[in-house]
Amino acid sequence: MLQAVSFFSIHADDEPRPSDAAPQSGGDTAQPPAWPETTRVTRPWTRWWWPGSAVDEANLTRELAAFAGAGLGGVEITPIYGARGFERRYIAFLSPRYIEVLRHTAAEAARLGLGVDMATGTGWPFGGPQVRPEDAELAIEITDGKFTPKPTDFRVKRSAPGGAGPVLNPYSTAALAHYLEPFTAALKQLPPGAIRAQFHDSFEYKANWAAELPDAFRKRHGYDLAAHAAMLAAAPAAESDADTIARIKSDYRETLAALHMDYVRAWHTWTRSVGGISREQAHGAPANLLDLYALSDIPETEIFGSTDFPIPFYRNPPEERSREVPQPLVNQLASSAAHVAGKKLASSEAFTWAREHFHEAPSGLKPELDQLFLTGINHIFYHGSCFSPADAPWPGWLFYASTQYNPRNPLWHEFAALNAYITRVQSFLQAGRPDNGILLYWPVYDLWHDPKGWNRNLGMHGHDWLTEAPAGRLAQALIDRGYTFDFVSDEQLRTTACVPRSSRLRTIGTAEYQAVLVPRTGHMPAATLRRLLDLASQGARILFFDAMPADVPGFARLESRRAEFAEQLARIELPPPGTAVRAAMLGKGNVYVGDDLDTLLGLVPVARETIADSGLRFVRRALPDGHIWFIANLTDKPYSDAAPLVTEDAAAALYDPLSGVSGMARYSAARADSDAGTPATLSVGLQLAPGQSIIVRTYAGEAVPENAASWTYSAPVGEPAALGGRWTVTFASGGPQLPPPFKTAALTSWTDQGGEAGRFAGMARYELDFELPAAPEGAEVEDWWLDLGDVRETARVLVNGRDVGLLWCLPFRARIGHCLRPGKNHLAIEVTNLAANRIRDLDQRGVVWKNFHEINFVNAHYKPLDAGLWPLQPSGLLGPVTLTPLKVER
C-alpha cells in the first residue's frame, strides 16, 4: 500500500541523519529489510606489498589473520624493493622458496576466507631479468630521414629481488610470450584456484615503437610509414602540412593502440590458461581506454591525490596533499567499459597519496569513496598495506606512496568500520545490472589527430584530454542535469544492436540504453558513422550535439574515405538550420542534431533524476524486481525532502551503509503524464546531512516486503545545548608512552598538554558527567542527537556504559535517546588520533625508521621526507559537544 510522505519542518541548520535512526517495527514480527549477502568480493581488498619478498609463514599468517579480522576480502601481492638490514631474509622472485611462501599464503587466505591476486611481475611495469634485448622497449628516433629506433634502457621501477631488469616492450606479443614463460612454470606448482587474478598496473611504459610496428602499420593502412619519416621529423611549414602530419600520426597512434591491445589480449588469454582471471589498469596507455579496459575480466581505475569537498569540518590542507586531484570522469571510463562489455566488477586502486604519510583520516577517505561509487566502481582495492615482520621496530616496513592502513597504524582498530561501510555499499552495487540511459560516444580519433609528439598517453596525471574535450564537457553537463550514461567506443558501437521491435539499444554485454549521444566530433571513421545511422534505421535514437561529425581521421585512402563519409551523411535529410534541434527520420528511427542539450534530450525517453538539482549525486542499478540508488550528499547543505526517483516501482526501503540500519521508507507514487512529458516517479523521503550517503531499494508491485520494519525520520524540536563541565582525559593505548591523565573544562587538542602528549599516537578516553537538559517548553522530546563537533580522528561513544558505536566520518553525530536517563548521565568518548605526531617525533630525535632500498623515503611531492618539519596535528576531542532534542516520525 502506498504511503504518503510527511516531514517535519526542518530549518537550514538542521541536518537529519539516517544513520542515527533505527527502523521501527510495524508489529512484533516486523523485521528490517535484509541486506544482500556478504562475500569476499563485496568486501574491500588491499594491495599487499612484500618488501624484498622477505616474508615467512608465521608472519604471513599473522598479517592475513589481521586482514580478515578487519573485514578485508582479499589481497593483491606485489613484491617490491626491500628493507635495509634484512637482506638475509630476501627471497628471489619466483624461486622455489618464493613458490613455497606463495603456496602458504594462498592456503592460509582460503582458510581465512580471503582471496589472493598477484601482479605479473615485481614493481611495475612488466619486466625483469628474463627480458632479452630484442624484447625490451624501443623509442622512436629519426636520423637522416629514416626511423632508427633505440632502446629506452628503462628498467622495472621498485623491483624486488629477482625481479630487476629491462622493461618489456608493451607492443610485442612475442616479447610477452617469452616474458610469461617463468610465470607459467611457477604457477603450475600451485593448486588450482590459488590465485584469483593476475594484475597489470597502469601504463607507465616509455616505449613508442616495436619491431612489429612497420608491418602492422602497412597492413592496417596500406602505405609505408617510413616513407614519411623526414616529414614527421620536421616542423610543419604550413597549416596543410600540420594537418597531413596529424593524419599520419593518427594512423601511427591507431596502429600503436592495436599492437598494445594485442599485447593485453594475449596477457588476458594467458591468465585464463593458468587458471585465473585478469585485472587491468588501462589508463596511461596510448589506446582507446574503453576497448582496453573491456579486454580484462575486472577493469580497474585509480584515484591519486585528494578532492576539496565543501562538507563542513572536511579537511584537505595544501601542506598535506599532493598536487593531484581525482577526476571522476576518468574513473567512469573503467566502469563504462565494464557495463558495456558485461563485466560484473569495476575496481579501483584507492587512496594513492590521499594525504601526506600518516595524515589520512577515515573521515577524509569516505567522500572520496562515495565519489568513486558514484562513477559505477564497485570493487575497492586499498593502496595499500605493507608486509612487516613482528620484529621490525615501529612503524615497521612501509611503502613510499601508501595510505598506511596496517596493524601498526593507531587507527587500525577503526579500519573494520570503514571496511564494513564499503562492504555494505558494494553488496548493492555488485547486484543487478547497470541502469544508465545514454551511450555517450568518446571520439578518440580527435585525440589522435595531433601533429605534436608521438604516442598520446591518456593518464591520471592531467585530465584535460577528457575534461577539456567536448566529450568530457558534455559528460559533466549530463551529470549536472541528472542524466545517466556510459561512455562507448567505436568498436563497442560496432557490436551494439537495436532491440527488436524497440528503440532501445543493447550492447554486447546485454546492457540496454535509450539513445546514443555524440559530442562535437572533428574526426569519426566512416564505419562508425555508418553504424550509427544503421542503428537509427533499425529504430534507435541517435543524437548529435552541436553538429554532425566533420571529417574522417587518418591519412590512408583519404579521398575515398571522405567520399564514403559524405555518402553516409547524405542518408540524413535534415531540415535547414534555424531551430535549436533538427530532426530527421531514418528507417524506423530518428536522428537529431542540435546545440540545445535540454531540448535535444527532451526528444527521447531518457528521464533525468531531478535530485541532481539539489546537488545530490547518485548511481542507479536495476534488479529483476526493482531498482537500487546509491545517493551521496557531497555538498555543504543538508537535504530533507521527498526525492522523486524515476521508476514505476511501488515501494521503497532505505539502507544506511554506515550503520547497517534498514527500514521501509515513506513514499508516494506519481504516474507518468505523457501530455506533460513527465515520467512515473516514486517520491522517497530522504534526510541527508553533508557528507552522508544512503541506499534506496525500490520494489515492483509483487516484490514489496510484507510487515517490514519502518524507517525512522527525525527533526529537532529545540536548539543544541552545549555539554559543560570538567572532562577527565585518560590515555588508554598507544605509544611511544602513555601521557599522564588530565582534566579540562575546555576541549582543545591534547597536544596542548605538551610532553608525551605531543608525540603520542593512540587512544584517549574522555569522560564527563552531565545533567540531561530540560525539554523545550511545549515540545515533545522523543530522542536526542549527540554531536561531537570536531573530532581528531575517530570516536567510540558510550553513554551510561552502553556502547553507542564508533563515529569515524562526518558528521560525528549519533542518536542516544535510548541510552539516556532523567537527571545525571555519564558520557565516555574514546578518541583515536593519527600517527603523524609520533612519526614527527622520530625524525626530530633522529631515530632511523626510513630504512629502505631505492626510494627512501619521499613525501607527497616526491621530495625527501622530513617529518620533523611537520606541524603538530591537533588530536582528540575538539568539540563543541552538544545535545539536540528530537521528535521522531515512523
Same domain, 687 and 726: no
DSSP 3-state of 562: helix
Write down the pLDDT at residue 818. Answer: 96
Same domain, 347 and 256: yes
Instruction: Classify each residue of 410-443 as buried b or exposed e, where b means 16 or more C-beta atoms within 10 Å of its C-beta.
Output: bbbbbbebbbbbbbbbbbbbbbbebbbbbbbbbb
Same domain, 394 and 269: yes
DSSP string, 720-741: -EE--S-EEEEEEEEES-PPPP
Q: Which residue matches cell numbers 591476486?
A: 117
Same domain, 65 and 141: yes
d(CA 398, CA 386): 6
DSSP string, 346-394: -EEEEEETSSSTT---HHHHHHHHHHHHHTT--EEEEEEEE---TTSPT
SS (H, E, C) 621-685: EEECCEEEEEEECCCCCCEEEEEEEECCCCEEEEECCCCCCEEECCEEEECCECCCCECCEEEEE
For residue 859, is it within any domain?
no
SS (H, E, C) 9-24: CCCCCCCCCHHHCCCE
CATH number of residue 813's parent domain:
2.60.120.260
Residue 167 has pLDDT above 80, yes or no: yes
Among the residue ranges 225-229, 792-796, 852-856, 869-873, the one predicted with the least confidence is 852-856
Total domains, the chain = 4
Write down the pLDDT at residue 702. Answer: 85
DSSP 3-state of 534: helix
Which has more confidence, 526 or 323? 526
CB 744 within 8 A of CB 797: no
For residue 483, is it within any domain?
no
For residue 798, is it within any domain?
yes
Picking from 711, 744, 773, the residue at the C-terminal end of a domain is 711
Residue 428 has pLDDT above 90, yes or no: yes
Residue 626 has pLDDT above 50, yes or no: yes
SS (H, E, C) 332-353: HHHHHHHHHHCCCCCEEEEEEC
Span 688-731, pLDDT tens digits: 999 999 999 999 988 899 999 999 999 999 999 999 999 999 99
d(CA 393, CA 561): 67
CATH number of residue 657's parent domain:
2.60.40.1180
Tell which residue, 585, 620, 388, 605, has the closest CA to residue 514. 605
Write down the pLDDT at residue 21. Answer: 43
Same domain, 239 and 258: yes
SS (H, E, C) 747-788: CCCHHHHCHHHHCCEEEEEEEEEEECCCCCCCCCCCEEEEEC
pTM for the whole structure: 0.96
Which has more confidence, 687 or 401? 687
d(CA 792, CA 810): 11
- The percent of residues in the chain predicted with pLDDT above 70, rounded, is 97
For residue 510, is it within any domain?
yes
DSSP 3-state of 808: coil
> DSSP secondary-structure letter at 41?
T
Residue 95 has pLDDT above 70, yes or no: yes
Picking from 578, 602, 626, the residue at the C-terminal end of a domain is 602
Among the residue ranges 12-16, 160-164, 393-397, 614-618, the one predicted with the least confidence is 12-16
Same domain, 591 and 627: no
Residue 867 has pLDDT above 70, yes or no: yes
Question: For 845-866, what is the mean pLDDT?
Answer: 94
For residue 624, is it within any domain?
yes
- The four Cα atoms 78, 415, 763, 738 give a dihedral, to 10 degrees, of -20
Same domain, 134 and 240: yes
Which has more confidence, 579 or 154? 154
d(CA 820, CA 799): 7
For residue 476, is it within any domain?
no
Q: What is the CA radius of gyration of the chain?
A: 29
Tell which residue, 110, 19, 39, 711, has the closest CA to residue 431. 39
Same domain, 224 and 338: yes
Amino acid at 379: H
Same domain, 582 and 616: no
Domain with 560, as residue range(s), is: 489-602
Write down the pLDDT at residue 11. Answer: 27
Picking from 434, 460, 479, the residue at the C-terminal end of a domain is 434
Write down the pLDDT at residue 27. Answer: 52
- The percent of residues in the chain predicted with pLDDT above 90, rounded, is 91
For residue 35, is it within any domain?
no
CB 615 within 8 A of CB 637: yes
Residue 890 has pLDDT above 90, yes or no: no
Write down the pLDDT at residue 182. Answer: 98
C-alpha distance from residue 225 to each of 206, 221, 230, 453 (Å): 21, 9, 10, 15
Write down the pLDDT at residue 14. Answer: 31
CATH number of residue 391's parent domain:
3.20.20.80
d(CA 515, CA 541): 5
φ/ψ of 120, rounded to 5, equals -85, 60
d(CA 437, CA 513): 5
Span 200-231, pLDDT tens digits: 999 999 999 999 999 999 999 999 999 999 99
User: Directed axis angle between helix 558-569 and helix 526-537, to 10°?
Assistant: 20
To the nearest whole number, what is the mean pLDDT of the chain?
95
Write down the pLDDT at residue 28. Answer: 60
For residue 847, is it within any domain?
no
d(CA 422, CA 425): 5
Same domain, 308 and 195: yes
Quick count: other Cβ atoms within 10 Å of Cβ 233?
A: 16
Span 5-44, pLDDT tens digits: 333 322 223 333 334 444 444 456 789 999 999 999 999 9
Same domain, 200 and 264: yes
Amino acid at 175: A
Same domain, 144 and 227: yes
Q: Where do the DSSP E strands lie in 135-192?
A: 138-139, 142-143, 146-147, 150-151
